[in-house]
Amino acid sequence: MLESRNDSFGDLLCDVKAEQKEYGTRYRRIKDFAYPDDVQMSVSFEIHFDAQLNRRVKNEPLMQMTRGEFGGRVGVWRLIETFAKHGVRATLFTPGRICELYPESLKEAVNKGFEIGNHMWEHRMPSEPDLERDHLKKATKAVEKLCGQRPVGSRSKHKIATLKHEGYLYASREDHPIDDFPYYTYDSEGNCILNFPFHYAGDDAIYYYLGFYGCDLAGNRPSDPSRVYDIWMNIFRQSYRMGRHMSICLHNFVSGHALRVAMLDKFLTELRKMPRVWFPTYREMAEYCLDRFPPH
Ligand SMILES: [Zn+2]
């Protein structure tokens, strides 16, 4: 009995060790990351232009679809205006199909100096390899044609090889956030891409989105924006002390509502008062990392 228990524990330990070894091969931190002398920390903002596409993919009821539509018709404009007011340029990750649905808002974001990144074709990731490649190609082309800039970053689970083939410089995936600075992710063929970590504490949806990821816990209720403000300010202050990178993820159908935009306005006002804070788009941060700390 004891022997078999030992055996199964031994197997488990082997599995853990193998997993750990693979982890070490697949994810590499930039251990010697350093900012230029005049920078204490950096803050990057990403906006997800999900609009109703994600709602449709999830086959949600009509009311949720219209909620998504609010993001495309109203929310995104408010976010663009608020960032522009503070002279901060965000990265707008958009599904390719949004180019057909809300072209004017994307063009306005470009006018304000935003980076436009890829967020899949229609907010879903096909499992068929040909279709996966086709979706990235179509989405990349759609943004390039409308916005006059080819996206170089993708917030998606597109394969690293597919992204590299289309000339992407970085990915932004929510799996394995091993650092708060960008880090390198490798696939089994040795392809490598710079990856921006994603932390739910900086995601508006986790605070405001009722039924987030189908969660029906009593605790999952929309938060008061002032509570979110306190949490984000505390993260900012601590990251500032530590000289780290902070990223905030906003969804236009979530953060585009009146009180939440007012909170964002106040948050940006406070951040802008702090000296030596760099507000790079994801592309700028990626280029800095690739240039100064290339993968080995
Ligand atoms: Zn999304």
Q: DSSP H helical segments within the chain, as ranges?
A: 2-26, 53-57, 62-70, 76-85, 98-101, 103-111, 129-147, 160-165, 204-208, 225-242, 252-255, 258-273, 282-292
Beta carbons of 190 and 295 less than 8 angstroms apart: no
Predicted confidence at residue 173, as pLDDT, reads 81
| Distance (Å) from CA 70 to ligand 1 centroid | 15
| Of the candidate ranges 6-15, 238-247, 278-287, the one whose mean pLDDT is the lowest | 6-15
- Distance (Å) from CA 251 to ligand 1 centroid: 8
pLDDT digits (tens, 9 = 90+) for 47-62: 999 877 776 777 777 7
Which residues fall inside 5 Å of ion ligand 1, going by CB?
A: 48, 50
Q: What b/e sequence results for 149-187 when a residue is b if at least 16 CB atoms lie within 10 Å of its CB, and e otherwise? A: eebbbbbbebbbebbeebebbbbbbeeeeebbbbbbbbe
Condensed to tens digits (0 to 9), the pLDDT of residues 84-105 reads: 999 999 999 999 999 999 999 9
Q: How confident is the model over 193-203, as a mean pLDDT?
A: 92
What is the chain's alpha carbon radius of gyration, rounded to the nearest angstrom? 20
Q: Return the domain boundaries, the chain.
A: 37-292
The yes-or-no verdict on residue 213 having pLDDT over 90 is no
Distance 262 CA to ligand 1 centre (A): 22
Please compute the mean of the pLDDT values over residues 208-214 and round it to a whole number.
70
CA of 5 to the centre of ligand 1 (A): 45
pLDDT of residue 113: 97
203 DSSP β-pair partners: 249
Q: How far is the CA of 119 from the centre of ligand 1 (A)?
A: 7
pLDDT digits (tens, 9 = 90+) for 282-291: 999 999 999 9
* Nearest-angstrom CA–CA distance, 242 and 234: 12
Predicted local confidence at residue 1, as pLDDT: 46
Asked if the model's pLDDT at residue 45 lies above 90, the reply is: yes
* Fold of the 37-292 domain: TIM Barrel (3.20.20)
Distance between Cα 267 and ligand 1 center (Å): 23
